[in-house]
């Protein structure tokens, strides 16, 4: 009879500390910057936020060299502010939401855009477009809540692709956490990707992607040719 497998909990680095942050779940909010909503063909007029998820073991550390994802010819980058929760709750008021945050980081929501487009066209879930292996690179966490404003950028092989500011969010971080907590009971270890500014676009095999948010550790990954 096969032994019961031992499964390790995914973790991410914490800036300035030897301890690592255990990842329980990853939630993402869609189209939370007006300019990105427009480039995706949606109305940015503060519609209710919608959410999707990635598996916890999709996290990737900065410096990783990644195989190019399978079953896609249109892999896209989306730079995002990520918040890591050190406490949880259900139906959390906006005024209390910031108190759940352990730290924040810059992340990249990798998307198999062709699979997503096909899923949208056929009315199917996005899971395999968003939640595939190694689809969530995340830099080291900076302890504490994130700033309300600050540059958020992404470069591919040194060329600037995305250039926004955290203040451009349609729903701010506290509002995102509060809205999400109405759907699920949040818990310590949860990560929340808070949306991407305009400029999303393709990544090719062999290219290097660098994402940065002012005041946090960057995340950089390279894809094998």
pLDDT at 38 over 70: no
The pLDDT score that the predictor gives to residue 47 is 76
Per-residue pLDDT, averaged over 129-136, amounts to 98
Q: Is the pLDDT of residue 40 over 90?
A: no
Q: Give the chain's length.
A: 225
Q: Comparing 34 with 27, which gets the higher pLDDT?
A: 27
**What percentage of residues in the chain have a pLDDT greater than 90?**
91
Higher pLDDT, 166 or 45: 166
Sequence spans of domains, the chain: 11-223
Q: What is the pLDDT of residues 149-197, one digit of tens each?
A: 999 999 999 999 999 999 999 999 999 999 999 999 999 999 999 999 9
pLDDT at 36: 58
More confidently predicted of 39 and 138: 138
| pLDDT computed for residue 148 by the predictor | 96
Quick: pLDDT tens for 50-96.
999 999 999 999 999 999 999 999 999 999 999 999 999 999 999 99
The pTM assigned to this predicted structure is 0.95
Question: What CATH number does domain 11-223 carry, 3.20.20.140, 3.90.850.10, 3.40.50.10610, 3.30.310.50?
Answer: 3.90.850.10
| Residue-level pLDDT at 41 | 58
The average confidence (pLDDT) of the chain is 95
């Amino acid at each position: 009879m096969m032994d019961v497998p031992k499964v390790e909990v995914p973790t991410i680095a914490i800036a300035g500390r030897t301890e690592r942050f255990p990842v329980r779940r990853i939630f993402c909010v869609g189209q939370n910057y007006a300019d990105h909503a427009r480039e995706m063909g949606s109305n940015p007029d503060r519609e209710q936020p919608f959410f999707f998820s990635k598996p916890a073991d999709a996290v990737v550390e900065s410096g990783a060299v990644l195989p190019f994802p399978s079953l896609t010819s249109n892999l896209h980058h989306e730079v995002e502010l990520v918040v890591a929760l050190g406490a949880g709750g259900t139906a959390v008021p906006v005024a209390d939401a910031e108190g759940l945050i352990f730290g924040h980081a810059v992340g990249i929501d990798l998307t198999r855009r062709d699979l997503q487009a096909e899923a949208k066209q056929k009315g199917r879930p996005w899971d395999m477009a968003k939640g595939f292996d190694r689809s969530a690179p995340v830099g080291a966490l900076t302890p504490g809540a994130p700033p309300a404003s600050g540059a958020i950028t992404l470069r591919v092989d040194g060329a600037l692709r995305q250039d926004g500011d955290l203040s451009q969010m349609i729903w701010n971080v506290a509002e995102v956490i509060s809205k999400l907590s109405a759907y699920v009971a949040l818990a310590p270890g949860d990560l929340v990707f808070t949306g991407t500014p305009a400029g999303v676009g393709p990544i090719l095999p062999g290219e290097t992607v660098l994402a940065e948010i002012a005041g946090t550790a960057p995340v950089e990954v390279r894809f094998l040719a």
